[in-house]
Chains A and B, each alone.
Chain A
Amino acid sequence: MIEIVDLYKSFNGTAVLQGMNLVIPTGKITVIIGPSGCGKTVLLRHIIGLWKPDRGKVMLDKVNLSALNRFQLNEIRRRFGMLFQHAALFDSMNVYENVAFPLREHTKKSEREIQNIVVEKLSLVGLSGNEKKMPSDLSGGMRKRVGLARAIALQPEIILYDEPTTGLDPIMTEAIDNLILEMQRKLSITSVVISHDIPSAFRIADQISMVYKGKIIETGTPDVFRNSKKEEVQEFIRKGEGKG
């Protein structure tokens, strides 16, 4: 279980997170929605300990991430996988090397086993046969899917997805949604998905949370969320469903 307790963060005097509270249950899919620029990515970076909060804490199974030193933090990050909003692929490595990277770093698998896993993960994200391409030769959507393959390569306990389907066509969006669902069902992976896409959020989420002005203003199952009394939530749902 990940607990976010009263989290504050500002940049050069601009408050981004302003007392955020959220519980992310183990083995479930939590979707975080909210207008762009409201601090969703900033929240995700705190969950994996890339940034330290100004105030408040992130607790992973009762361990306060801010209290860890760099070696302990490095150790605890083995339990995570993360897909960045802009993929953050290593541009000096080709697609194969990118996906193989976490396997090479953290397992003693033979090259043969690594190859099998890479091929499997690439086919899961619909990119078979692109192993030799460099990230600079890929479209934004393809890069993102390579990033996804890299994030799931080690099958970590917790996967953070920063807008996994933004910029993908509807068919690919559904395929990725199904992939996230399937990983959670088969391997009980704890997933945190940032999304703009309301219909897709309702389809995959066990829990939906909405960020607004630096706070979580609503959290609940899709049904609870749909019937929220909050005006901001209803407006966001209306606009999102109209668009999607």
Chain B
Amino acid sequence: MTAILKFIPFWNVLLAALMGLGDWCRFAWASITWTFRPPYRYHNFFYQMQFIGVQSLPIILLTGLFTGMVFALQTGKTFALFKMQNLVGSTVGLALAREIAPVFTALMVTARAGSAMAAEIGTMRVTEQVDALYTMAVDPLQYLVSPRVIGCIFMVPLLTMIFNYVGCVGAYLVGTTLLDIPSGPFLRHLYWYVDPEDIFGGMLKAAVFGFFLAMISCYKGFKTEGGAEGVGRSTTGAVVASSVTILVADYFLTTWILEFFTTHHH
């Protein structure tokens, strides 16, 4: 008997999680249907692209550069044991394109833009601005959520590409200076091993991550209750839930993308 009772809290947690997931799916579906209905507010959409993309640029440049540099340093040290430093370029390039750039970019955009979305919509929620939109016959899913989600679907892949590029620049700088790899072989291996499929696969992932992080952050904002404290809770919740989702989704997407491209290669 006590053994059963011990599990009841666990079931409650599981049930709450499932109900939360169901609620999120309904929210996401409603937002998607509103997205394809007129009016299309291009102004909101471009504003979000600007907010998500342009304003995230500095942090993407910085993290991209240093990630490429440290990655080259680590792989370079190991490869030096086998006298294979020339492969640093291709290793870093592949890892960046397939995994590191999409995941890091999505996590950075979550930290910067996702948290802002949850805080902004959460504040509008608790100050009845969201309700005011409803009463003015402007659906807040269409007005607030759609532009943010579309903005992320477009901008996260774009930022991923930039992350890729500066990451490779960072690896090149470290490789040619600290690791004494000649510039020619470094670049040749990079071009040879990194295929367009790798880049596109990474960007596809990034688009999916963008969808999830925006939809989750907006959802958290929308469900905010209880004043300033509630807004704080939603913001933290948005970052945690988005980050976990990105990492879990990455695993499944990777399995799927690898399978897709390997079956089409041979």
Q: Residues of A with Cβ closer than 8 Å to B?
A: 45, 48, 50, 70-71, 74-75, 77-78, 80-82, 84, 86, 88-91, 101-102, 105-106, 150
Cβ-defined contact, B136 with A77, below 8 A: yes
Q: How far is the CB of A90 from chain B (nearest CB, A)?
A: 6
Binds A, one of B10-18, B127-135, B145-153, B258-266: B127-135
Most A CB atoms within 10 A — which of B124, B136, B138? B136
Lowest 3 CB-CB distances: which A-B pairs, in order?
A: A88-B128, A88-B132, A77-B137
Given the interface contacts A70-B139, A74-B139, does A50 sit within 8 Å of B134 by beta carbon? yes
Report the Cα distance A22→B62, complex, angstroms: 63
Cβ-defined contact, B127 with A86, below 8 A: yes
Given the interface contacts A84-B132, A88-B132, does A74 sit within 8 Å of B137 by beta carbon? yes
Given the interface contacts A88-B127, A91-B127, does A80 sit within 8 Å of B135 by beta carbon? yes
B37: interface (CB < 8 Å): yes
Query: Which B residues are CB-close (under 8 A) to A84?
Result: 128, 131-132
Cβ-defined contact, A48 with B135, below 8 A: yes
Query: Which B residues are CB-close (under 8 A) to A86?
Result: 127-128
- Return the contact of A71 from the options B37, B124, B131 (Cβ within 8 A): B37
Given the interface contacts A70-B30, A71-B37, does A106 sit within 8 Å of B137 by beta carbon? yes
Query: Which A residues are CB-close (under 8 A) to B37?
Result: 71
Query: Which A residues are CB-close (under 8 A) to B124?
Result: 90
Interface positions of B from 95 to 144, Cβ below 8 Å from A:
123-124, 127-129, 131-132, 134-139
- Return the contact of A50 from the options B123, B131, B137 (Cβ within 8 A): B131
Query: Which A residues are CB-close (under 8 A) to B39?
Result: 105
Query: Which B residues are CB-close (under 8 A) to A90?
Result: 124, 129, 132
Nearest to B39 among chain A residues (CB) is: A105
Q: How far is the CB of B122 from chain A (nearest CB, A)?
A: 13
Given the interface contacts A70-B30, A71-B37, does A101 sit within 8 Å of B136 by beta carbon? yes
Q: What bracket does the count of chain B residues touching chain A fall in?
A: 10 to 19
Nearest to A101 among chain B residues (CB) is: B136
Query: Which A residues are CB-close (under 8 A) to B132?
Result: 82, 84, 88-90
With contacts A74-B137, A102-B136 known, what are 19 further pairs, Cβ within 8 A? A45-B131, A48-B135, A50-B131, A50-B134, A71-B37, A74-B134, A74-B139, A75-B137, A77-B135, A77-B136, A81-B136, A84-B131, A88-B129, A89-B129, A89-B132, A90-B124, A90-B132, A101-B136, A105-B136
Cβ-defined contact, B127 with A105, below 8 A: no
Q: How far is the CB of A143 from chain B (nearest CB, A)?
A: 11
Report the Cα distance A91→B122, complex, angstroms: 13
Cβ-defined contact, A78 with B129, below 8 A: no
Query: Which A residues are CB-close (under 8 A) to B128?
Result: 84, 86, 88
Nearest to A71 among chain B residues (CB) is: B37
Query: Which B residues are CB-close (under 8 A) to A150?
Result: 136
Report the Cα distance A70→B124, complex, angstroms: 20
Most A CB atoms within 10 A — which of B37, B124, B135, B138? B135
Report the Cα distance A106→B134, complex, angstroms: 13
Report the Cα distance A105→B136, complex, angstroms: 9
Cβ contacts A to B, 8 pairs, < 8 Å: A50-B131, A50-B135, A75-B137, A78-B137, A81-B136, A86-B128, A91-B127, A101-B136
Query: Which B residues are CB-close (under 8 A) to A91?
Result: 123, 127, 129
Report the Cα distance A82→B129, complex, angstroms: 12
Q: How far is the CB of B5 from chain A (nearest CB, A)?
A: 25
Nearest to A48 among chain B residues (CB) is: B135
Report the Cα distance A78→B137, complex, angstroms: 5
Report the Cα distance A220→B136, complex, angstroms: 30
Query: Which B residues are CB-close (under 8 A) to A48?
Result: 134-135
